[in-house]
Amino acid sequence: MTSAKVEIYTSWGCPYCTRAKALLDAKQVTYTEYDITLGGEGRAQMRARAPGASTVPQIFIADQAIGGCDDLYALDRAGKLDGILAQ
């Protein structure tokens, strides 16, 4: 379904990460997941890409910062997510 590159930064045991991935999975979206449970370079990369972001998940579609789980679901409820994914 999707042609846009989708990336998600997650950490182990995060219920919001699980919900965000469940929505992407339901839409049959292929995504790259970066587990930043232990911090390090992945967390630094996430913060560089989304300044001010300190929580997970952080979701990027076509290299654009979407935000977290609530932001992803809000786009879906507004009927905008499918269009963004089809870019």
pLDDT bucket at 39, cuts 50 / 70 / 90: confident
pLDDT bucket at 50, cuts 50 / 70 / 90: very high
Bridge partners, 61 (sequence order)? 6, 64
Residues 6+ apart with CB under 8 A from 58: 8, 9, 46, 49, 50, 65, 67, 68
Q: Is residue 27 part of a domain?
A: yes
Q: Is residue 66 part of a domain?
A: yes
User: Domain of 17: which CATH number?
Assistant: 3.40.30.10
Q: Is residue 15 part of a domain?
A: yes
Q: For tokens 């997941």, what's the residue?
A: 33
Across 76-82, average pLDDT: 97
Query: Looking at residue 35, what is its pLDDT?
Result: 96
What does 45-79 look like in DSSP terms, one character per residue? HHHHHSTT--SS-EEEETTEEEESHHHHHHHHHTT
Q: Is residue 11 part of a domain?
A: yes
pLDDT bucket at 2, cuts 50 / 70 / 90: low
pTM (predicted TM-score): 0.93
Give dist(CA 5, CA 31) in Å, integer: 7
